[in-house]
Amino acid sequence: MLAKIPQAQEAAADPLESLAGESGAMRALRALVRRVAASDSTVLVLGESGTGKELVAQSIHRLSARGRHSFVPVNCGAIPHDLLESELFGHTKGAFTGALTDRRGRFEMADSGTLFLDEIGDMRIEMQVKLLRVLQERIIDRVGDDRPFAVDVRVIAATHRHLEEAIGAGEFRADLYYRLNVIPLYVPPLRERGEDVLLLFNHFARRCAVAGRPPIRAAADLGEWMIHYHWPGNCRELLNFVERLSVLWPGEEMSLGRIPSTMLPRVRGAPPPSVEEQRAVLEMWQMDHDDTADGEEAPAVAINWAAKIDPPRINIEGGLMTAVDLKKLLADYEESWIRESLKVSLGNITHAADLLGLPRTTFIERLRKYELSASRR
């Protein structure tokens, strides 16, 4: 889970609160985190991007004896390679162009606390050698300074890469891997956590709720879809999805049929939305602007459709059926149903689409096809 706990609340909050979930995998992970926190061993957190590896590291730190001291995160993949040494170990004034003052590195900042090395698999070989020395000797050398500095730091590293494969490819040192992999922790992807996705949806909905409005809610069909969706971006992708729905439909119950396909998470590798799909969504919002003019709500009406619309009649002469344009006949029939749904729903697009059991985007495409508007008349 990706819930960040405000610093002012950290002392009072449960250190494992951010690792929410009732699946067996998450229960086991929380139990292991508690046990690991009692030691001072180096930990390697493994898992796909977006699963919450940094939250696991924070929980270990806060539960440990070092919890009163600093937790210092470093994303090894986000810092330019030529600056990573200075970032980790610090530098002295004049050590290189732009070094105008002495600067402490992240190891010194984390002294007596915990240093979190995220995306350790992206670190270059030459830096891996220097990191290995620090882990073995607990001594750092600032860039441009020959004096060694002793540090007391617990290191927790994380990666989404398969380090064994990186070792085989010559991209990661085996000796550093064994030094880091004292205690491995695996963070499960969201697709392996079953109904935890619904729990996280509600948590993120509360977090993303628009001021003055209740959180969005997931209808049964949307909940079923979320449980079976693959979630390649894991919790980060779910948070993105919930925030999107909270902005566009604040405080509402969301069913799968209400959400345009372009607003749903897209399977990795799927083609981007077509121009027609994007246009349909834009037109949907334009029509929605007039859906409930004057603050009027469309009534909930039980409709006897058979009494409202007569079926098309086929011409039969002398026992023989005359030729008909079946395509036009069906189109006329469909247009009649759409007109009737608009009349009953007072021009409300959402209600009209629901009455016909159509997704909103499909209903809008039909309006465009028959050159109809959402008029109440």
pLDDT digits (tens, 9 = 90+) for 47-79: 999 999 999 999 999 999 999 999 999 999 888
Residue 232 pLDDT grade (very low, low, confident, very high; cuts 50, 70, 90): very high
Q: What is the average pLDDT score of the chain? A: 82
Say which residue, 359 or 91, is predicted with more confidence: 359
State in Å, rounded, how far the first CA of the chain is from the last one: 49
* pLDDT of amino acid 291: 53
Is the pLDDT at 280 greater than 60? The verdict is no
| Listed range (128-132, 181-185, 210-214, 263-267) with the worst mean pLDDT | 263-267
Section 95-122 average pLDDT: 85
* pLDDT of amino acid 2: 44
Is the pLDDT at 377 greater than 60? The verdict is no
Section 324-351 average pLDDT: 77
* pLDDT of amino acid 147: 80
Is the pLDDT at 304 greater than 70? The verdict is no
Residue 81 pLDDT grade (very low, low, confident, very high; cuts 50, 70, 90): confident
Say which residue, 34 or 338, is predicted with more confidence: 34
The three-state DSSP-derived secondary structure of the chain is: CCCCCCHHHHCCCCCCCCCCCCCHHHHHHHHHHHHHHCCCCCEEEECCCCCCHHHHHHHHHHHCCCCCCCEEEEECCCCCHHHHHHHHHEECCCCCCCCCCCEECHHHHCCCCEEEEECHHHCCHHHHHHHHHHHHHCEEECECCCCEEECCCEEEEEECCCHHHHHHCCCCCHHHHHHHCCEEEECCCHHHCCCHHHHHHHHHHHHHCCCCCCCCEECHHHHHHHHHCCCCCHHHHHHHHHHHHHHHCCCCEECHHHCCHHHCCCCCCCCCCCHHHHHHHHHHHHHHCCCCHHHCCCCCCCCCHHHHCCCCCCCEECCEECCCCHHHHHHHHHHHHHHHHHHHCCCCHHHHHHHHCCCHHHHHHHHHHCCCCCCCC
* pLDDT of amino acid 135: 93
For the whole model, what pTM was predicted?
Answer: 0.68
Is the pLDDT at 148 greater than 80? The verdict is yes
- Domains of the chain as residue ranges with CATH: 7-188 (3.40.50.300), 191-272 (1.10.8.60), 281-377 (no CATH)
* pLDDT of amino acid 376: 46
* pLDDT of amino acid 293: 47
* pLDDT of amino acid 252: 94
Residue 173 pLDDT grade (very low, low, confident, very high; cuts 50, 70, 90): very high
* Percent of the chain at pLDDT exceeding 70: 77
* pLDDT of amino acid 58: 96
Is the pLDDT at 301 greater than 70? The verdict is no
Section 202-215 average pLDDT: 93
Is the pLDDT at 323 greater than 70? The verdict is no
How far from chain centre, in Å, is Cα 54?
15
Is the pLDDT at 166 greater than 70? The verdict is yes
Section 277-293 average pLDDT: 53
Is the pLDDT at 295 greater than 50? The verdict is no
* pLDDT of amino acid 278: 53
